[in-house]
Amino acid sequence: MKKFDLLIIDDEEVIIDFFIKISEAENLFIDTALDGKHGLNKVINNRYKLIICDLVLPGLNGFEIIDEINKKNLVTPIIVTSGYSTIENAIKALQYGAIDFLPKPFTYDEVLCCLKRGMNYASILSQQVESAIDEKKSELLFVPCPPSYYRFGLATWIKIENDKSITTGLTDLTLRTISKLDELNLLNEDDIIQQGREYLSLNCDLGLKHKVLSPVSGIVTEVNNNVLKEPALVEKDPFFEGWIYKISPNNIDADLSYLTSCSTDRF
């Protein structure tokens, strides 16, 4: 079984070449596949730290590949890309288990941000598996979401308040996959948000800007100004004092169908 850093599954040579250029600059060992069946076969027969997979492919599509990987209980993290960048595709990809969604066309910086988050997540996952096997090395690598919360993919969480409003923020796992947080770029009160659309971005000390997708649709009713003044508060206490927005949801029941209850998490 061969070991690689990355597997890129995409039927466009220009996209493959683009990823190769960025990966080589980051000293990553890359493998490629131009169709879904070939890509899945490589996943099964080799070992990768991270997979980046297009949704629309000859043979098997991206969702089918993720489904097969899940059935085989493979733990390699997957980032999904798509030139058909609908909200539905982003939501469905995260629901299937992708750790991130990268819409085409993308820039060098967007790919670099995705790669760094993905590789950091892969490192955390590897340490988690090692820690589970060796009790002497057991350690808390990240703080999971409280059981009463819901999460959208791995990046954001929501809490349903007694008045049916929503509090939302970033997961500790996401914060562990980026470098030191320098600044948050947030929306304003009364701004409209939509599930699966960008609703904040993070500036980090490596000069990278990480985009984050909204877990729900609705109207922002309050912004946590404390995290604007002190971004480190998000890293110190992401699930409580470091919340980001209060939201009046449009249809929380519809949104919940694409969220995962944190009570079922077994990280």
What CATH number labels 3-133? 3.40.50.2300
pLDDT for res 139: 64
pLDDT for res 135: 60
pLDDT for res 118: 92
Low-confidence ranges of the chain (pLDDT < 50): none
Domain layout of the chain by residue ranges:
3-133, 150-264
Fold of the domain built from segment(s) 150-264 = OB fold (Dihydrolipoamide Acetyltransferase, E2P) (2.40.50)
Q: What is the pLDDT of residues 144-191, one digit of tens each?
A: 999 999 999 999 999 999 999 999 999 999 999 988 889 999 999 999
pLDDT for res 205: 76
Cα(93)–Cα(100) distance, integer angstroms: 8
CA atoms within 13 A on the CB side of 50: 23
Cα(191)–Cα(223) distance, integer angstroms: 10
- Adjacent-strand bridge partners of 102: 81
Distance between the two ends of the chain, CA-based, in angstroms?
Answer: 26
pLDDT for res 137: 56
